[in-house]
Amino acid sequence: MFRELPCVKAEGESFSQDMHPVIEEMPLAVSVNGRHALTAMTSPVMLREFIIGFLYTERIIKDIEEIESIRFEKNTASVLTTNPFKILTSQKTVLSGCGGSMSFLDTEKLPEIDSDLNLNAEKIRNSLKEALDSELHIRTGGIHVVGLYDTEGRITVVEDIGRHNALDRVIGHALEKDIDLSKTYAICSGRISSEMVRKCLVANIPVIVSRGATTTLAVEIAKARGLTIIGFVRGKKMNIYSGGKRVSDMPSEDAGYLEKEQGQL
């Protein structure tokens, strides 16, 4: 996922020739039923899982059984589905630093979370610490990490140049393994955006956790559709923005406070 590239390193007034690990990025053109669907700028790993997760979160497929085949040739992938007419008409370039959605974000049309998952604060902190212990991130400084966990522990952890791509990958992995996503939670290294929230809602992942920030729109949508957002998980600290009922050791009055604040966003 990286190559050693030559660079000139500067420190103060001193310059020296050196090599440095740089994350690989590739374009992947995807066609569905003979029509171009998207071009993604992504890391060259777990491409099948990425495509499955993307098609699912874009609602091009309802389950993995609708995929008849995925064929790869160099930087292109061709997908055949059981419904040859099911493909969005817009074409999308998914940039490595941006959201990958082709869908218009309409909160009322997004599904509500259906899950009885509960987690305590210690499990949330420990899971994030484990998931984000990335040697590749330490070496390159240029990768996002997304993990999928359940109450038993780690299911999979994925690294990608884009956090939205990485989330699609873990969803695709879960679909291939027939994992009940309502029993899982997502860990991510970057900002929780409205697009990350949308993908979790479509996949019925009830909790998303980050060591970073979130956005007002992400919280508004999460509250309306029953998703738990937890940000700034660092050391013993965390901010719970929505769905406090899923944090088992949170006092009930605090969980109620989050619900009351919904109308003030």
For the annotated catalytic residues, the residue numbers are: 98
Chain Cα centroid distance, residue 175 = 14
How many CA atoms, within 13 angstroms, populate the side-chain half-sphere of residue 208? 36
Largest CA distance in the chain: 63
| Calpha distance 37→29 (Å, rounded) | 8
| Calpha distance 50→79 (Å, rounded) | 12
| Calpha distance 249→164 (Å, rounded) | 30
Chain Cα centroid distance, residue 239 = 19
The three-state DSSP-derived secondary structure of 94-134 is ECCCCCCCCCCCCHHHCCCCCCCCCECHHHHHHHHHHHCCC
